[in-house]
Amino acid sequence: MGIIAQCRAASSGQLAADGRRRDSGGEPPAARRPLSAFRPTAARFLRFAYTLPIPPPLVAPRFHLAEMPPTDTSHPDYFHRVVDCQWACPAHTDVPEYIRLIAQGRFTDAYMVNREANVFPGILGRVCDRPCEPACRRSRVENKPVAICRLKRVAADHKDEYASRLPKIPAVKNGKHVACIGAGPASLTVANDLLPLGYRVTIFEQLAEPGGLMRSNIPSFRLPQAILDEEIGAIIGMGAELKLGHPVKSMKELLDRGGFDAVFVGSGAPKGKDLKLPGRAEAAPNIHIGIDWLESVAFEHVKAIGREVLIIGVGNTAMDCCRTSLRLGAQHVNVMARKPRQFFKASDWELEDAEEENVRIIVNRAPKRFVVEDGRLKGMLFDVMEYDLDARGAITAERITGEEFFAASDVILAIGQENAFPWIERDLGIEFDKWSVPKVDPVTFQSTRPGVFFGGDAAFGPKNIIWSVEHGHQAAISVHRHCQGEAVTDRLAPGINLQSRKMGMHEWSYSNDYNPAERRLVPHVSLKERFKKLNIEVELGFTAEQAAAEVQRCLNCDIQTVFEAKLCIECDACIDICPTDCLTITADGEEAELRTRLRAPAKNLEQPLYVSAPLKQTGRVMVKDEDMCVHCGLCAERCPTAAWDMQKSFVKWPHAEDQPPTCQPSLPKIA
Amino acid sequence: MTYIPKPKVRHPSLPRNALGLTRRDYEGALSTLCAGCGHDSITAALTEAIWGLSLEPQNIAKLSGIGCSSKTTAYFVSGGHGFNSVHGRMPSIAMGANAANRNLHYIGVSGDGDTLSIGLGQFAHAIRRNLNMLYVIENNGVYGLTKGQFSASADIGSKAKKGDVNQQPPIDPVLLALSLGASFVARSFSGDKAQLVPLLQAGLRHRGFALIDVISPCVTFNDHEGSTKSYAYTREHYEPAVNAGFVPFEREIVVDYAEGECLPVVMHDGSRIVLHKLAKDYDPTDRVAASAYIQARAKQGEFLTGLLYVDETQKEFHELNGTPDVPLNSLSPELLSPGAKGLDRILARFR
């Protein structure tokens, strides 16, 4: 009450203090008051407060707490962050752009937009870990995200010839020679980025085929060989020298005698973890390390497995192991998990795909020992576990409540993998930490020895393909700068460009209507058919109709709502038309307090508030809660003064080719 | 106007009223008014006010005449009843409808032309009868639908878009209503929903004729320098005298009112309006003083806004005429029709 009373007193005081207005009975109509007098001071605030039953004390904090400054939309991160999928993608793929191109039937263009960022659209359109999808705005608006990953596959499946669109490779090289160790996604990306700049790139691969874990660890029923061959072939076709069956045995020798200007280590995390429990040695012939076993299957060294298989671990490798087992003759496959389902490392969709194939996932079983009879594996004994969880779902205590035997003819261990570098001598200036992990700079990917770079799983342990690609891009920048004698730390900053999408009074060069279609499901080969051969791809990809419907679910988050405060006349048209109540014109305030005063609850703190500069008529601010904006453009369409505009954001995420021109005069001009 | 309709998608955590409905459920057809029209803001305020009172759409009757303003009724509560009448004749339609069914909430939306020019006579008599309705004037000072000629509410000295200066004195609907004995008179501004929404709610709960004159800038023909009904001019010259906070009957009132500054007015249904007096010596229950004060402020170039006058004791049309409590349209023909004998008896009284 005190605050309100003060406020009211202030209000009356202002009226009384204004002698001109109080006492000038016979004067002509007063001249206009300056607009600045209408800034929402406390006394003026009452007129804007929608009050039931009387003004709440929200007036009070304005004197004590910091107001939000106008949002700096010139910072490249602001609009980038609005595009949730692109922000979440390690390689910053322009997802909404390629989805629109698919909608227009421009599949090759869509493929090239992808390729620029993630290099392997066909591969990633099948097996990406899709960090974009949990981030997708659509999942906040109506639960299910856009099927971004599977749309990427649509672009790859339907593209035409694209070799002519790949960067031209200069005939005259720049005299620099780079070695890449391992032919996985990270090394291939380095080659992809450096070959067009005139570098010679030699890739050393210990296996007989390039692709790294993409080929050896991902089963062909998820990722067909032909797709791998095509996309890897595109890079090799740029002129990379590929030395297959050529393991690097000594880094010292490579550095001393190879004659390379830089070395990139993209050798992955090839060492699967073992489980040293009683019986391990005796049952060795029927106990397999997951990633090694998958590799043996991929190269057809292993063609069968026993009838009853136990998989230890519930990561994505475990899912590949259980599904591969079913195709090699196993009848009963149990995946054994130590903890409850919410702690699983495997992606939800990989779990679903495995369960669709009648794999049983058994939780709360901790491996105790291998049971061996007559020198043969009979099964495994597990402790039955029980956990106490706190309110946030974290485990606070665990107990063993009993034990249980599961019969098995084979056990596959899929409990993690590590990078290992027995071939790197420890006296080369390449430092390792106490776990024998190399010390790698997270920005430049350079080791402690200048000119030696790490990327992919070799750098920071197992992640997924899309991370390896981004590591490759960043390492390529460093390699380029290193070879040109420039500091690897001195890198071009990301940028953003905006371009209006206005075509006419109510016409935008994007499909702005909200389409209520629900997420389409990718059709699968029937359960009966899919087990006939190991390499029958289970997912069929979207049909034309499904793709056409799914693309319309994208909310075009890259078509940004751009506000020009000085044009606003505060007519409220945008606020009234906004379907998701994102917009509010109100007095500025401290963020937490401001969030309580918006048209719709702004409880998602992950999503920023946009706050404009003070508006010229009242000094209030335009606030936009980015959380639920469906980018329909109605605010801009309803705006009589074009204070709102819809502008496409182009995120410029620099690659090696964007770095400042080289200092080497001999470098030929790139076509 | 807009080419795509407002998408049906809504914020997932939009608040719901007592009927379980969100604001979005009270919307109407897509507005075809100019982008930035004040009328659309009033539409949004009406939507919000009706949602906030948890009125059932089927119990709402929307009535209008002709003009940009009169299109408004199509743009909110598409589940309600509607009647778009002849120019200036909306009060007659409201009168007839209200006479037949007193249980509906009548919302008339009109403009300065529809009310103060062609419909002035109808408007005056609806006030005299204290017809139980909410009457909103969307007042922009110009005939927008016919390209922006001055209307009867244009101020002396106000400039038209092409430079003509208005010479004739304006009709102020607020002063007119006060002089005609209106029981609820308010003025507001389309750009101030914080003030407008509670006023609309109070007007909907008022038993009798509730007039709200809403300054609603015409963004196409009257939002330029020199206009006295532009967004900028209105913001510079309007002065809230009394803000109304509407308190539904169901809500317990726990706050203390500082005497002389907050004035609770109890409505017939037990709900109340709490008047926040921003001008200390203003009395919104004194018709003569209110009228004088409004004129004094107007002379100084101020639009006094808020709930400027209210009298809950005045009898409305049905009370004045002693009609039954149930709507006439629910009575049987036998009860409604006197029959030949009854008619003879009535006629005999006049012989």
pLDDT in tens, B257-279: 454 556 666 766 767 666 666 67
Arithmetic mean of pLDDT, A534-555: 93
Confidence of residue A63 (pLDDT cuts 50, 70, 90): very low
From the list B14, B40, B235, the residue facing A573 with the nearest CB is B40
Arithmetic mean of pLDDT, A375-391: 94
In this complex, do A569 and B36 lie within 8 Å of one another by their Cβ atoms? Answer: yes
Residues in chain A with CB shorter than 8 Å from the CB of B250 are: none
For residue A402, give both structure tokens. 């009993």
**Tens digits of per-residue pLDDT, A259-275?**
999 999 999 988 889 99
pLDDT at B263: 64
pLDDT at A33: 41
pLDDT at A452: 96
In this complex, do A581 and B14 lie within 8 Å of one another by their Cβ atoms? Answer: yes
Map out the domains of chain A with their CATH numbers: 2-63 (no CATH), 89-162+516-551 (no CATH), 166-270+419-483 (3.50.50.60), 276-415 (3.50.50.60)
pLDDT at B52: 94
What is the DSSP pairing of strand B105-111 with strand B60-64? Answer: parallel
**Tens digits of per-residue pLDDT, A25-42?**
334 444 444 433 333 333
Question: Average pLDDT over chain A, rounded to whole?
Answer: 87
Return the domain boundaries, chain B: 23-321
**Tens digits of per-residue pLDDT, A90-105?**
999 999 999 999 999 9
Q: Locate all alpha helices (DSSP H) within A221-335, ordered by sequence.
A: 225-236, 251-257, 290-298, 316-327
pLDDT at B256: 44
**Range name among A318-327, A351-360, B86-95, B296-305 with the lowest pLDDT average:** B296-305
pLDDT at A661: 59
Amino acid identity for residue B89 in this structure: R
**Tens digits of per-residue pLDDT, A515-525?**
999 999 999 99
Distance of alpha carbon A393 from alpha carbon B236, whole angstroms: 56
Higher pLDDT, A548 or A42: A548
**Tens digits of per-residue pLDDT, B323-349?**
999 999 999 988 888 899 999 999 999
User: Cis peptide leading into A53, omega within 30 of 0?
Assistant: yes
pLDDT at A255: 94
Distance of alpha carbon A97 from alpha carbon A431, whole angstroms: 42
Q: Is the CB of residue B219 less than 8 Å away from at least one CB of chain A?
A: yes
Least Cα distance to A297 among A315, A322, A271, A269 occurs for: A322
CA of B245 vs chain A CAs: smallest distance (Å): 5
Q: Mark A242-273 as b/e (b = at least 16 C-beta within 10 Å).
A: beeeeebeebeebbeeeebbbbbbbbbbbbbb
In this complex, do B198 and A569 lie within 8 Å of one another by their Cβ atoms? Answer: no
User: Per-residue pLDDT for B244 more than 80?
Assistant: no
DSSP-assigned beta bridge partners for residue B106: B61
Q: Which of residues 165-194 of B touch A (CB under 8 A)?
A: 190-194
User: Per-residue pLDDT for A653 more than 80?
Assistant: yes
Provide the percentage of residues in chain A whose pLDDT is more than 70.
89
pLDDT at A435: 85
pLDDT at A6: 35
From the list A35, A506, A640, the residue facing B36 with the nearest CB is A640
**Tens digits of per-residue pLDDT, B198-225?**
999 999 999 999 999 999 999 999 999 9
From the list B13, B193, B300, the residue facing A600 with the nearest CB is B13
pLDDT at B245: 67
Arithmetic mean of pLDDT, B245-261: 50
User: Per-residue pLDDT for A51 more than 50?
Assistant: no
Arithmetic mean of pLDDT, A193-219: 95
User: Per-residue pLDDT for B165 more than 90?
Assistant: yes
What is the DSSP pairing of strand A308-312 with strand A410-413? Answer: parallel
Least Cα distance to B213 among B121, B138, B133 occurs for: B138
**Tens digits of per-residue pLDDT, B50-72?**
999 999 999 999 999 999 999 99
Q: Is the CB of residue B268 less than 8 Å away from at least one CB of chain A?
A: no
From the list A571, A617, A632, the residue facing B36 with the nearest CB is A571
Close Cβ partners of A644 (under 8 Å, ≥ 6 residues apart): A561, A562, A563, A564, A574, A635, A636
DSSP A520: P
User: Per-residue pLDDT for A60 more than 50?
Assistant: no
**DSSP string computed for A120-184:** -HHHHHHH---THHHH-THHHHHSSPP-HHHHHHHHHHH----GGGSPPPPSS--S-EEEEES-S
DSSP B134: E
Arithmetic mean of pLDDT, B241-248: 67
Q: Which of residues 308-327 of B touch A (CB under 8 A)?
A: none
Residues in chain B with CB shorter than 8 Å from the CB of A628 are: 11-12
CB A379 within 8 A of CB A357: no
pLDDT at A287: 95
pLDDT at A53: 34
In this complex, do B10 and A581 lie within 8 Å of one another by their Cβ atoms? Answer: yes
pLDDT at B240: 76
pLDDT at A417: 87
Confidence of residue A418 (pLDDT cuts 50, 70, 90): confident
**Range name among A69-78, A113-122, A558-567, B81-90 with the lowest pLDDT average:** A69-78
Distance of alpha carbon A340 from alpha carbon A366, whole angstroms: 11
Close Cβ partners of A526 (under 8 Å, ≥ 6 residues apart): none
Cα three-residue angle B76-B80-B85, rounded to 5 degrees: 85
Q: How many CB atoms lie within 10 A of CB A384?
A: 14
Q: Is the CB of residue B224 less than 8 Å away from at least one CB of chain A?
A: no
Per-residue HEC secondary structure of A563-620 comes to ECHHHCCCCCHHHHHCCCCCEEEECCCCHHHHHHHCCCCCCCCCCCEEECCCCCCCCC
Distance of alpha carbon A80 from alpha carbon A469, whole angstroms: 20
Closest CA in chain A for residue B24: A579
**Tens digits of per-residue pLDDT, B86-121?**
999 999 999 999 999 999 999 999 999 999 999 999
User: Per-residue pLDDT for A49 more than 70?
Assistant: no
User: Per-residue pLDDT for B133 more than 70?
Assistant: yes
Close Cβ partners of A29 (under 8 Å, ≥ 6 residues apart): B299, B300, B301
DSSP A227: H
Confidence of residue B317 (pLDDT cuts 50, 70, 90): very high
User: Per-residue pLDDT for A62 more than 70?
Assistant: no
pLDDT at A54: 35
In this complex, do B301 and A30 lie within 8 Å of one another by their Cβ atoms? Answer: yes
DSSP-assigned beta bridge partners for residue B82: B62
Q: How many CB atoms lie within 10 A of CB B56?
A: 13
User: Per-residue pLDDT for A71 more than 60?
Assistant: yes
CB A310 within 8 A of CB A336: yes
For residue A109, give both structure tokens. 């263009």
- How many CA atoms, within 13 angstroms, populate the side-chain half-sphere of residue A49? 25
Distance of alpha carbon A120 from alpha carbon A211, whole angstroms: 11
Question: Average pLDDT over chain B, rounded to whole?
Answer: 89
C-alpha dihedral, A121 to A126 to A130 to A133, nearest 10°: 100
Distance of alpha carbon B140 from alpha carbon B151, whole angstroms: 8
Phi, psi of A458 (to 5 degrees): -65, -25
Provide the percentage of residues in chain B whose pLDDT is more than 70.
90
**Tens digits of per-residue pLDDT, B18-38?**
999 999 999 999 999 999 999
CA of A30 vs chain B CAs: smallest distance (Å): 5
Q: Which fold has domain B23-321?
A: Rossmann fold (3.40.50)
Higher pLDDT, A53 or A80: A80
Distance of alpha carbon A430 from alpha carbon B343, whole angstroms: 114
